[in-house]
Amino acid sequence: MSDLIRRDPRLEWIMRNRLHPRHGELSNQPTRGPTGLLRKNPRPQWQYGPSGLRRLDRLNMSSAAGVTQLSSKKRSEQVVLPLHQVVEPQAYIAVWLQTSGGRLTSHCKDVLGQAQQLAVAREQSTAVLGVLCGELKESLEGAGVDRLLQVQGEQYEGYQPEAWSQLCAQVEDSLNPLYWLFPDSGEAAELGRRLSVALGVRPATSVWKLEADKLLARNGAGNQDISRPWSRVMLLLEECALPCAEYRYEASPVQLELSAPCRSRLQDLGQIAVDPAEIPLAEAEFILSAGNGVHDWPQFHQAAALLGASEGASRVAVDDGHMPRNRQVGATGTWVSARVYIAVGISGAVQHLQGIGKCEKVVAINQDADCDMVKRASLTTIGDSSEILAALMALVEAKSAQEVSDAA
């Protein structure tokens, strides 16, 4: 047999191609370099954690345990998270479930993340109890709710602080939660303060960090931190904790004997339609934003009006005089936190991406499939902006016409 060292071009190709299904398995084995020396792949390997996030496998645990890396096909499959169960709770941490349009707000998800941290840290079996008024259009499976008390009916929907306070008082009487956590924003912030008065406790407001025995809360117009003891009623700021991501939660219903809600002294006259163009960008929930890739400006304005979106723009679109300066999104413009941000013909420069860091869902419309906005987006449409906006408007018009004919 010849002593000649033969190279295997296919093996070398697999070693270079990280997405190849056998890459992990083969690249962990030492191979011979061109000089015949044994070489080990110095690059750390990666695997997928239970939440579906890619993680570096520095200890090479995946191959040791016989787990092969997921192929790109498998990666797109749904990862089933382990179920977190609290079988017989001995204590509760109550969280007011703040919703917008029938979905939990991202602020509320942060508060639930904090509640789960508190529950897990306790020796006693403790469940996170979500208290919800009205209907929900999404599943609570991943949000961090172990038990759910949901009440529906017009007495609880809209702006009903008196009925909500009464509900909280009944939960307090029946289950006596260890802590009450509220997002410190909107109506939930008001309700938390109302409950504190009813319970006669001093609430902790603007809380952004819970430590072992103390908490940190913002003060002095957000420029100062104060440290104080925990309170039974805590109102937490956004990003107080990471939202839950590692488990599925039961959200099993809790049945309580509730008395009928009191007669409200306040009358909710419903929401008033406002012109989306009048909403300050920082507060807008739905933004259609234009960049250098928009060439038909009347069409862009028409699309924003039809979708009911507030208009935003990249700096180039503003500098070119197509949009006013107060509509610029980004590091030197406005930092926005919309639930949906549609970027039309925006490349995704770092200064622009900084401004949309807090947006929940980003949709990119662009000709360039490799641009940074496409990497940031949850959904992308590749093509000419004018054609895509025209198709989008046609769809919206068709849907509206359908709704009108259904109603007739």
Contact stretch for ligand FAD (CB under 6 A) within 36-44, 98-106, 236-244, 343-351? 343-351
User: Which of 130, 261, 293, 312 forms a contact with ligand FAD (CB under 6 A)?
Assistant: 293
Shorter beta-carbon distance to ligand FAD: residue 243 or 330: 330
Q: What tokens were used for 336?
A: 């926005």
CA-CA distance, 57 to 298, in Å (whole number)? 52
If one asks whether residue 336 binds ligand FAD (CB under 6 A), the answer comes out as no
**Mutual angle of helices 161-175 and 186-199, in 10-degree steps:** 50
User: Which of 236, 371, 377, 389 forms a contact with ligand FAD (CB under 6 A)?
Assistant: 371
Minimum separation from the CB atom of position 341 to ligand FAD (A): 12
For 65-85, the DSSP string reads TTPPPPPHHHHTSPPPPPEE-
CA-CA distance, 192 to 245, in Å (whole number)? 26
If one asks whether residue 314 binds ligand FAD (CB under 6 A), the answer comes out as yes
Q: Which own/partner contact pairs does 320-323 have at CB distance under 8 Å and 24+ positions apart?
A: 320/292, 322/290, 322/294, 322/297, 323/290
Shorter beta-carbon distance to ligand FAD: residue 99 or 292: 292
Minimum separation from the CB atom of position 287 to ligand FAD (A): 13
Residue 139 contacts by C-beta under 8 Å, 6 or more apart in sequence?
Answer: none
Shorter beta-carbon distance to ligand FAD: residue 83 or 369: 369
If one asks whether residue 291 binds ligand FAD (CB under 6 A), the answer comes out as yes
Residue 311's SS3 state is strand
CA-CA distance, 74 to 40, in Å (whole number)? 27
Contact stretch for ligand FAD (CB under 6 A) within 65-73, 120-128, 183-191, 289-297? 289-297
Shorter beta-carbon distance to ligand FAD: residue 77 or 387: 387
Q: What letter would DSSP give residue 203?
A: P
Q: What tokens were used for 137?
A: 């259009």
C-alpha dihedral, 16 to 17 to 18 to 21, nearest 10°: -130
User: Which of 29, 227, 351, 402 forms a contact with ligand FAD (CB under 6 A)?
Assistant: 351
User: Which of 233, 317, 336, 340 forms a contact with ligand FAD (CB under 6 A)?
Assistant: 317
User: Which of 287, 316, 323, 359 forms a contact with ligand FAD (CB under 6 A)?
Assistant: 316
If one asks whether residue 312 binds ligand FAD (CB under 6 A), the answer comes out as no
Positions touching ligand FAD (CB under 6 A) are 291-293, 295, 314-317, 328, 330-333, 345-347, 349, 351-352, 355, 366-368, 371, 384-385
